[in-house]
Chain A
Amino acid sequence: MAGVLKAPGAFAITPHKVSVCVLVQIYASPSQISIPFPFSSVSQHNRLGLYLLALTKSCDDILEPKLEQLISQLREIGGLLDHWLTDHLTSRLSSLSSPDDLFNFFNDMRGVLGGPDSGVMEDDQVILDPNSNLGMFLRRCILAFNLLTFEGICHLLTNIGIYCKEAISSCSSYELRRLDDSDIEVFADPKSEHNDKGRESSSYSSSGDLLRDVDLNGGVFLRTNWQIQGYLMEQADAIEKDGSSFTLNAFELTLRQLQKLAPELHRVHFLRYLNSLYHDDYFSALENLHRYFDYSAGTEGFDFVPPAGCNSFGRYEIALLCLGMMHFHFGHPKQALEVLTEAVRVSQQHSNDTCLAYTLAAICNLLSEIGFSTTSGILGSPFSPMTSVGTSLSVQQQLFVLLKGSLKRAESLKLKQLVAANHLAMAKFNLTHVQRPLLSFGPKTSMKLRTCPVTVCKELRLGYHLISEFCCEGSTMTTDGAFSTAWLKNLQKPVGSLVLSQDNSSRDNSNPFLFCTQPSSIPGSVLQLVGSSYLHRATAWEIYGSAPLARVNALVYATCVADASSSSDAALVHVKLIQHLAVFKGYEEAFSALKIAEEKFLSVSKSRILILKLQLLHERALHRGHLKLAQQVCDELGVLASSVTAVDMELKIEASLRHARTLLAAKQFSQAAAVAHSLFCMCYKFNLQVESATVLLLLAEIHLKSGNAVVGLPHALASLSYCQSFNLDLLRASATLTLAELWLSLGSNHTKTALTLIHGAFPMILGHGGLELCARAYIAEAKCYLSDPSFSVSDNPEVVLDPLRQASDELHVLEYHELAAEGFYLMAIVFDKLGQLEKREEAAASFKNHIMALENPQDGEDPLSNA
């Protein structure tokens, strides 16, 4: 029933534990000699001991291994003894045929333990200390057995029967005792019926190992509530980290079985919700979310601390928070905001400050991710206490106020992860928004309408502090249940370093057990946050225009936190690195890197990698002059974005920016200008100022190409001022270059101005700009010189020739035919003036080649473009 927290289940005796008891008995059989009977050496004896230790520790796992698995593990461990061990084990187990046998068995077990007066034992006598790990285990088993009712003993007996039969029916080499044919068939049958399901479940790896043995028939022994919760939490983390590595149906099947075994364990529904969420099944996600909170009122699981005031309300505000995030995930911003607003109200009503803090953070995230032109009518009364100045503020101002409030709340509640996340959000806000005073009346203070990179850095650094706090605290976040699952995983993981020496084993040493690897003490979620702080840094430097720093941060991320990162973040970092390659090293290298990334993220977050691929294809098509292909790719890119207004803004802007560029390349100037103009309107509406700078620059370029330099100038200047306010240094250099080109096209009397501008931008361009930008700058510089009437080519030809050569080298890598042709054309003119006819012909030939290539684009040379 809701609101009732069940006590964690007790230690229950199961067939697997009986097996372990049998092995313990072998290990510690009371004898007078130092090495008991079956063992031939001390190391052999010790190896079994270590193995038993590991087994008892992993006994807290959710599902127990089958006898078959135990036997195969024994083979690894037992060395020469394995036959003896397995035979002994199976015969001992199958000799248990009546309840009385079980009574006797546990009585014998008592004998293995040393008595309380065992202090006087002889040195070389092997006897189990009751307080040792194995001794405790044995005592717990005996106690659990003694607590069983007679029915319980009968069930144990039946289960042992099933446990043995399963192992025997699957490996026929063992002699069948006491089993007639029909019984075996009884247990073999259900498997054949669920064959297809079994096949499904074999197709997944990460979660499959643990639960692959869940069978609808008997033979499955569930563990305590505690352990299953631990397992479920771990799975939840895994799904959130990398949802697509789970197959929808296989995991659903696992969960369904778990639910069948433990119908009162409601967290399963939450896992189902996550599973369908990450597989984009809206209806199932919605249904399961509601179901989970209906059943448990959010009060299930060990992360639940009963509130001090003992209110029986449940935690439905968390349901609202989750529902809001779900709508956000599916791209329903309006519903998300409505639900989160309700979450704020309900959290306030029930004074759940923690939930309130998280909800506010979620709203901030929503507002910053999705374009809202206005929040009026949505962000209503519940926000007025926070935005005390009323709702007349712009969305951005509201966002700022909310961010501040949320940060303060998180700090006062000591929610470290939330604080870190809020710092990151703040950094993001500061990166893209100019802070204006909230009140527009009163004496005007001197306003500095610029973003402040220092603040951004500070926020990022504060976000990063989180990791040091967790390093000091140790693994308080890891939960017992999850921990015990890790134990078993490590047991099965063949890893290099050896704990056990495999001295006299006749088998190869390739599969040793590693018992002692502990899970990292820093929780995965913290590492993810730290990782995303690196991603933010990389993005910040990208925006500010420092390519090397952006690259370095991306690399740090990829090398240090990639293991813990979610797959979408990892994909993002690959995208960044590949984009960098494309800009600085050309397409060939970028595409080969893309191939690797595609393989790596084969099933994972395909879209991001797909978008990158389309971007690269488009870029290259434009440079090569494949305008049809460019348009096609551009359309494909547009289709990927959601059809809902204001969702997937980034992608939409990208698509229409590229559309405008394609039109520009096709010399359809008025249409290009129209597309760019409407794009600018959209950016203005949603307050996307960084993007506005880019669009304005594009408009300037369109006017430049269409020969309307006078119209282009104000656009370039506007872009420049945006760049200045937002510290977009590289874009600013690029805008300066365009400005220079505009001046240049106004006539030869402006060459001085143009040249000064270019020279001013050169340090930035050469230091951080990509191949294309550098080449453009070189050519523009050469053009300036050439059109300057006071400049004489014959006096110092290298001043012109050198940049032109540089440019042609870089453009060759990019296969940018149009610009390369221009370069060679200029070169030919220079050589002509210098009277070097041979070189002139050479340059002219190159010019011709590029023009030909531009006019006859060759399709289909690259397999990637067909995809």
Chain B
Amino acid sequence: MSSKESCRNELRTAIRQLTDRCLYSASKWAAEQLVGIEQDPAKFTPSNTRFQRGSSSIRRRFRTNEITSTPPTGVAYVSTPVMEEDEVIHGDFYLLAKSYFDCREYRRAAHVLRDQTGNKSVFLRCYALYLAGEKRKEEEMIELEGPLGKSDAVNRELVSLERELSSLCKNGMIDPFGLYLYGLVLKEKGNENLARKVLVESVNSYPWNWSAWSELQSLCTTVDILNGLNLSNHWMKEFFLASVYQELRMHNESLSKYENLQGTFTFSNYIQAQIAKARYSLREFEQVEVIFEDLLRNDPYRVEDMDTYSNVLYTKECFSALSYLAHRVIMTDKYRPESCCIIGNYYSLKGQHEKSVIYFRRALKLNKNYLSAWTLMGHEYVEMKNTPAAVDAYRRAVDINPRDYRAWYGLGQAYEMMGMPHYALHYFRKSVFFQPIDSRLWIAMAQCYESEQLHMLEEAIKCYKRAANCNDTEAIALHRLAKLHRELGYPEEAAFYYRKDLERMEAEEREGPNIVEALMFLATHYKAQKRFEEAEVYCTRLLDYTGPERETAKSLLRGMRMAQSSFPSMDVEHFHP
């Protein structure tokens, strides 16, 4: 990794350049990373580092490997020269146009720049036109909404923009910002391959534009596409890869990239939030909660990614914390999809599903493609026993992202609830296809096979085996496997799984009827096998429990002693072969 100092300088220049071109979200991102770089304590007074205080405690707790700022061996980072501003004439027109732009008067801004030919002016004009088109498109979508759904409103500027940018591109008169916009337009028009090419060109020549990376990321839907990209090595690429890996569900790879980046950008809220999201996907809720708490301490008015936090609080059933979070975000910004989603989660936790649906709907009104809101709303409808609506909501989620295994799982569950296990299997199969490491999905599928209507026990066993292999935290699979094998008349296998289940329960110090059941079976099984020593061990353990099993164990023990004493020869034969 480049030195912190050079990163800092690069970012500072980039922020100025991005702001100058009105690429505000990119410059916001860059600025966040800039202050995320650890300051040199020798150079700065405590007041300078105020922003970065109060966070080291959890970092010490959770930093798994001590990251150093040395670059990984063998990777040579190209140093991209910071672009020199090509235009000396900071035209007055440009200043006017930028002011208009800042006031969201896009068409006026474009009009002011109509005769300017400098790269910067051309970019700002095109960008303003693009945004004007987008704004109009959004409005038209509302205006044209008919009984058959939203009409096909398009950004009417795309065609002329594409024409202009492509001719600029052909003549080599385009700068990286222009390329970014060109890529954006191409993507909107559905020309994904060319869009990727153009965006790669843009980020290779100007890597600090995070918006360009994000667009590129949304075009990398498979690992193969990702590997096909010809990206030059720059530290920004690490951010990009971490983000793509996360989207492609390669959570561990993503996590290690982010942890690596934390070596330089120690205090970056962005990285912290991304790590939290990755850990959430790995179901490490405790750590996620700590990270988010920390994040909120540093950045109390943050709304981004807070929906993930609310999911964690929901899972952990923290009523008051969730309500506190909901209150906080609604004071910050009521009309953000994340805010609505958090409130929806809160109501759901309170069991007020109708209200919860209202808020999820509001979130979806703000962002029609807000994936998790569709899925969560599906869950609410399931709770409300309105299965057709649930199915509809889940289906919308999978049509937005076909890899969303939760929604597939929800669909399967909904159909199973309606007594259509065979039909549900299709959805469970889809869900395990996209997330084969989640034991809950395999268990759900197995239960479907086990259902009274299907009664396909062999298949159920196969599913439970898969579930047992992928860290089944609720320990359902082993118990079911043992039971099924017993029912199907395979005592050897049943004993094997009961033993494993028992070991597991011992390791986790669980108590409950399952232990008694396992002990009981093993005792009788070994007795029948004439392996009295083992049988005795299990019987003795049964004596610790109350209930009828205790009596049975006693009688079993008695029976065994009798058998052993009356047939000593056999005993010898058995134990000393």
A-side residues, CB < 8 A to B, are 1-3, 6-9, 12, 149, 151-152, 155, 182, 185-186, 189-190, 193, 216-218, 222, 224-225, 228, 260-265, 286, 290-291, 294-295, 297, 299, 312-314, 316, 319-320, 323, 338-339, 342, 345-346, 349
Across the interface, A316 reaches (CB within 8 A) one of B144, B151, B420, B453, namely: B420
Q: Which residues of A contact B146 (CB under 8 A)?
A: 9, 12, 222, 262
Q: Which residues of A contact B395 (CB under 8 A)?
A: 291, 294-295
Q: Which residues of A contact B386 (CB under 8 A)?
A: 312
Most chain-A CB neighbours within 10 Å: which of B147, B149, B418, B419? B147
Q: Which residues of B contact A286 (CB under 8 A)?
A: 426
Chain B, residues 437-463, CB within 8 Å of chain A (1/0): the string is 000000000000000011000000000
- Measured in the bound complex, the distance between the Cα atoms of B144 and A400 in whole Å is 56
Q: Contact: A323 with B423, CB < 8 Å? A: yes
Q: Which residues of B contact A152 (CB under 8 A)?
A: 143
Q: Contact: A222 with B148, CB < 8 Å? A: yes
> Measured between C-beta atoms, what is the minimum distance from B91 to chain A in Å?
25
- Measured in the bound complex, the distance between the Cα atoms of B418 and A349 in whole Å is 10
Q: Which residues of B contact A217 (CB under 8 A)?
A: 154
> Measured between C-beta atoms, what is the minimum distance from B4 to chain A in Å?
47
Q: Contact: B152 with A260, CB < 8 Å? A: yes
> Measured between C-beta atoms, what is the minimum distance from A229 to chain B in Å?
10
Q: Contact: A346 with B392, CB < 8 Å? A: no
Chain B, residues 159-182, CB within 8 Å of chain A (1/0): the string is 110010000000000000000000
- Measured in the bound complex, the distance between the Cα atoms of B427 and A297 in whole Å is 16
Q: Contact: A338 with B422, CB < 8 Å? A: yes
Q: Contact: A7 with B147, CB < 8 Å? A: yes
Q: Contact: A186 with B453, CB < 8 Å? A: no
Q: Contact: B421 with A342, CB < 8 Å? A: yes
Q: Contact: B388 with A3, CB < 8 Å? A: yes
Q: Contact: B160 with A314, CB < 8 Å? A: no
Q: Which residues of A contact B140 (CB under 8 A)?
A: 155
Q: Contact: B387 with A313, CB < 8 Å? A: yes
> Measured between C-beta atoms, what is the minimum distance from A574 to chain B in Å?
39
- Whether B188 sits at the interface, judged by CB under 8 Å, is no
Query: With A190-B159, A342-B453, A345-B419 in contact, is A9–B147 under 8 Å at CB?
Result: yes
Q: Contact: B418 with A262, CB < 8 Å? A: no
Q: Mind listing 17 A-B residue pairs with CB under 8 Å? A: A2-B388, A6-B147, A9-B147, A155-B140, A189-B163, A218-B154, A261-B151, A261-B152, A263-B150, A291-B395, A297-B392, A313-B387, A316-B415, A319-B423, A320-B422, A338-B454, A342-B420
Q: Contact: B423 with A316, CB < 8 Å? A: yes
Q: Contact: A342 with B392, CB < 8 Å? A: no
> Measured between C-beta atoms, what is the minimum distance from A840 to chain B in Å?
76
Q: Contact: B149 with A263, CB < 8 Å? A: yes
Q: Contact: B394 with A3, CB < 8 Å? A: no
New contact pairs (13) apart from A2-B388, A345-B419, CB-CB < 8 Å = A9-B146, A186-B160, A260-B152, A262-B146, A294-B394, A295-B395, A297-B392, A313-B387, A316-B423, A320-B420, A338-B422, A342-B420, A346-B420
Q: Closest A-chain residue to B395, C-beta based?
A: A294
- Whether B391 sits at the interface, judged by CB under 8 Å, is yes
- Measured in the bound complex, the distance between the Cα atoms of B454 and A179 in whole Å is 68
- Whether B534 sits at the interface, judged by CB under 8 Å, is no
Interface residue count on the B side (C-beta < 8 Å): 36
Q: Contact: A1 with B148, CB < 8 Å? A: no
- Measured in the bound complex, the distance between the Cα atoms of B426 and A286 in whole Å is 9
Q: Which residues of B contact A320 (CB under 8 A)?
A: 420, 422-423
Q: Contact: A294 with B392, CB < 8 Å? A: yes
Q: Which residues of B contact A149 (CB under 8 A)?
A: 143
- Whether B389 sits at the interface, judged by CB under 8 Å, is yes
Q: Contact: A265 with B149, CB < 8 Å? A: yes
Query: With A2-B389, A189-B163, A312-B388 in contact, is A342–B148 under 8 Å at CB?
Result: no
- Measured in the bound complex, the distance between the Cα atoms of B394 and A798 in whole Å is 86
Q: Contact: B389 with A1, CB < 8 Å? A: yes
Contacts of B113-146 to chain A: CB distance below 8 A: 140, 143-144, 146
Q: Which residues of A contact B454 (CB under 8 A)?
A: 338
- Whether B399 sits at the interface, judged by CB under 8 Å, is yes
Q: Which residues of A contact B453 (CB under 8 A)?
A: 342, 345
Query: With A189-B159, A291-B399 in contact, is A8–B421 under 8 Å at CB?
Result: no
Q: Which residues of A contact B422 (CB under 8 A)?
A: 320, 338-339, 342
- Whether B411 sits at the interface, judged by CB under 8 Å, is yes
Q: Contact: A2 with B149, CB < 8 Å? A: no
Please report the number of residue pairs spanning A and B whose Cβ atoms sit closer than 8 angstroms: 105
Chain B, residues 34-78, CB within 8 Å of chain A (1/0): the string is 000000000000000000000000000000000000000000000
B-side residues, CB < 8 A to A, are 140, 143-144, 146-152, 154, 159-160, 163, 189, 386-389, 391-392, 394-395, 399, 411, 415, 418-423, 426-427, 453-454
- Measured in the bound complex, the distance between the Cα atoms of B151 and A619 in whole Å is 61
> Measured between C-beta atoms, what is the minimum distance from A321 to chain B in Å?
11
Q: Which residues of B contact A155 (CB under 8 A)?
A: 140, 143-144
- Measured in the bound complex, the distance between the Cα atoms of B49 and A738 in whole Å is 108
- Measured in the bound complex, the distance between the Cα atoms of B459 and A338 in whole Å is 15
Across the interface, B160 reaches (CB within 8 A) one of A182, A224, A228, A290, namely: A182
Q: Which residues of A contact B159 (CB under 8 A)?
A: 186, 189-190
Query: With A320-B420, A323-B423 in contact, is A294–B411 under 8 Å at CB?
Result: yes
> Measured between C-beta atoms, what is the minimum distance from B382 to chain A in Å?
13
Query: With A3-B389, A294-B395, A297-B391 in contact, is A316–B150 under 8 Å at CB?
Result: no
Q: Contact: A9 with B420, CB < 8 Å? A: no
- Measured in the bound complex, the distance between the Cα atoms of B543 and A593 in whole Å is 89
Q: Closest A-chain residue to B415, C-beta based?
A: A316
Across the interface, A1 reaches (CB within 8 A) one of B147, B392, B426, namely: B392
- Measured in the bound complex, the distance between the Cα atoms of B387 and A319 in whole Å is 15
Q: Contact: B392 with A295, CB < 8 Å? A: yes
> Measured between C-beta atoms, what is the minimum distance from A152 to chain B in Å?
7
- Measured in the bound complex, the distance between the Cα atoms of B389 and A501 in whole Å is 58
Q: Which residues of B contact A338 (CB under 8 A)?
A: 422, 454
- Measured in the bound complex, the distance between the Cα atoms of B148 and A595 in whole Å is 48
- Measured in the bound complex, the distance between the Cα atoms of B146 and A262 in whole Å is 8
- Measured in the bound complex, the distance between the Cα atoms of B418 and A203 in whole Å is 44
> Measured between C-beta atoms, what is the minimum distance from A88 to chain B in Å?
30
Across the interface, B418 reaches (CB within 8 A) one of A1, A290, A295, A313, namely: A313
Q: Which residues of B contact A1 (CB under 8 A)?
A: 389, 392
> Measured between C-beta atoms, what is the minimum distance from B175 to chain A in Å?
24
- Measured in the bound complex, the distance between the Cα atoms of B389 and A1 in whole Å is 7
- Measured in the bound complex, the distance between the Cα atoms of B160 and A320 in whole Å is 49
Q: Which residues of A contact B421 (CB under 8 A)?
A: 342
Q: Which residues of A contact B151 (CB under 8 A)?
A: 222, 261-262
Q: Which residues of B contact A346 (CB under 8 A)?
A: 418-420
> Measured between C-beta atoms, what is the minimum distance from A562 to chain B in Å?
37
- Measured in the bound complex, the distance between the Cα atoms of B558 and A284 in whole Å is 65
> Measured between C-beta atoms, what is the minimum distance from A605 to chain B in Å?
29
Q: Which residues of A contact B154 (CB under 8 A)?
A: 217-218
- Measured in the bound complex, the distance between the Cα atoms of B423 and A216 in whole Å is 36
Which are the 7 A-B pairs with shortest beta-carbon distances? A264-B149, A262-B148, A294-B395, A2-B392, A263-B149, A2-B388, A314-B388
- Measured in the bound complex, the distance between the Cα atoms of B392 and A544 in whole Å is 54
> Measured between C-beta atoms, what is the minimum distance from A119 to chain B in Å?
39
Q: Closest B-chain residue to A264, C-beta based?
A: B149
> Measured between C-beta atoms, what is the minimum distance from B328 to chain A in Å?
31
Q: Contact: A313 with B148, CB < 8 Å? A: no
- Measured in the bound complex, the distance between the Cα atoms of B418 and A582 in whole Å is 56
Q: Closest B-chain residue to A228, C-beta based?
A: B148
- Measured in the bound complex, the distance between the Cα atoms of B394 and A388 in whole Å is 41
Q: Which residues of A contact B148 (CB under 8 A)?
A: 6, 9, 222, 225, 228, 261-265
Q: Contact: B149 with A262, CB < 8 Å? A: yes
Across the interface, A8 reaches (CB within 8 A) one of B144, B147, B163, namely: B147
Query: With A261-B152, A320-B423, A342-B421 in contact, is A225–B391 under 8 Å at CB?
Result: no
Q: Which residues of A contact B411 (CB under 8 A)?
A: 294
Q: Contact: B149 with A339, CB < 8 Å? A: no
Q: Contact: A349 with B394, CB < 8 Å? A: no
- Measured in the bound complex, the distance between the Cα atoms of B82 and A864 in whole Å is 74
- Measured in the bound complex, the distance between the Cα atoms of B425 and A320 in whole Å is 12
